Structure 1
Amino acid sequence: MVLAFGDTPACPGINISLPCYHIISIRFINNMELRNETSILEFLLMEVTENPELQSLIFSLFLSMYLVTILGSLLIILAVSLDSHLHTPMYFFLSNLSFVDICLTSTTIPKMLVNIETQSKSISYTGCLTQICFILVFASLDSCILSVMAYDRYVAICHPLRYNVIMNSHLCGLFILLSLFISIVDALAHSLGVVQLTFCADLEIPLFFCEVVQVIKLACSDTLINNILIYFATSIFGGILLCGIIFSYTQIVSSVLRMPPAGGKYKVCVGLTSQLSLFYGKGFGVYISSALADSSRNAAMLSMMYTVVPQMMNPFIYNLRNRA
């Protein structure tokens, strides 16, 4: 029904003098605003560099790092699979860690390289949610496997006579399945929480990839539940697992200091400590720098390095000459 200007038909149940066509217009505008908030087609990621002359250099740098990560991790997986002498819990976990490294870097780097090549900053709403989910799965799984590897080294060095009994194949498989279950549950909880959010006009993410915390900051709706989930996950992966790793390392160092020099054990300790500093140290460094850095671009670059450098360094840290 089309109302001409000045028509003022009776409006049942409304005791005001405002014409009905005005009320219909208000409802129409509210519906349009709701549709604009919920029908999000894409997000905008930060440009890697504003200098066109540096784009090719940065593209080559990250492509090289990505290829080194993939090649090194694949070599570890292939060597562990083919060499029967490496069929031990330590290398079983190492091969799983290498596979996770491949998946984690493949979740972020290819999209960034495509955006650099096409000079585009956009990522679809579905693609952003998918990236969030996979980043959470593989980053959480990476943390869990590192914790399991620390426990494996603790048993091997502090209880060597019982090592084969404790770290049997069933327990190793259970550790991986439990880590995968925890990671998937954590990722689904965060992803489903993001799906329930509505977003406004400003959809620019100050990173080179979709990160759950930054996406939540763009929401117009209430994010209390999302923030609670983030604090809960942080307390588990950044608190409980980290405390477990530190406890294992403390026991390892204490046991090593009480025994005669043994190069192999020292190499294992150095390797695991290096990985701990790379993964957790850079992770804490990213959040500290994000809070203190004047430029969001610098914090974004550190975040990208955090998702690339530790995975690229793993093949060099865990060289296959180390023995349990």
Structure 2
Amino acid sequence: MRTGRTWRAVATAGLVSGLVLLPGGQAQSATCSVTAWQVPTGATTSAVHGYDGVRVAVGSTSRMVRVAGTWRHTDTRAAVWDDGRLVLRLTSETAVMDDVNAAGEVVGSEVVGSRRVAVTFDRLGTATPLPGRSTWDGYWASLVTSGGDVVGQAVTGDQRVVVLWPAAAPGTYRELPVPGVTDARPVAVDDQLRIVASTSSTTGGGYVRNTDGTWVPLAHPANGHADPWAIRDGRVVGRTLLDPNGFTVSEWNGAGALVRTYPTEAVIPRAIGGRGVVGGDALVDGGQRTVLWRDGVVVDRLPSVAAAFQLAAISDVERTLVGREGSYPNHLPVHYRCS
């Protein structure tokens, strides 16, 4: 289940609870060791799209080549890893695996005929299309909850709408339009089926759909708009982008109200843990690196995690950090085990 934009948060117990709290709310830094994941021979970059919170992750691997002075992805294939071991790599060049839950349900998209459609994948990588309107130009699934509810989007012309395939009614779908918005894109979902959508700056930038089915805007100042990244148990984190070039890292509740802003060194919040820890990027000693926050305050700067690490997810027991490491154009998947 992906609860964050590209990088997910699916934590329920542990990493911060395993740290030794010091006076003033500071924490003793966790000791973390890295494991490089298997990739196909020749692959030089990767992306982790979804993680089940325990072992299994989905994403893609590619080989980067330079063409006319520009780096390009080649040989891109969807992939499945089990605790870092590559267990499946699709032969299709058009299939995309976007998310996986603990039950092993994988969702994404594939080109069928002349358009891209939402699909589920079985354990052998065989794609089964999800239902949709024939009038849609294309549609795809990007999120799946632990209960099997699938969330994605559909495109018709220049309009985008959030789509739900409910686990309780297999073979059906529901369009979930945001009132007054024609370009909503789902970026995260929690286990209570609260959906966070990103919209254009002119329509406020971000909305959250509550358990009662209503969409509410994420609070933002008149000179800015919301840029949501993750949700967990009704807590939304992201950024408030300010005109012309500023931003603050922000946290909202499920009603869209602003709860707090983070210190100025915070850059991007990528994942939310089950006990309130938030993982993401911050400026530390003149560079950008992964840190952990609680209530907007840094509790661990993770000195044993490489500065080049990009966080994608936190395990359910909050002792494994999943992501990728390297420098452009080459990033390969890794995880850190922390204690």
Q: Normalising by structure 2, what TM-score?
A: 0.23
Return the structure number with greater strand share.
Answer: 2
Return the structure number with greater helix share.
Answer: 1
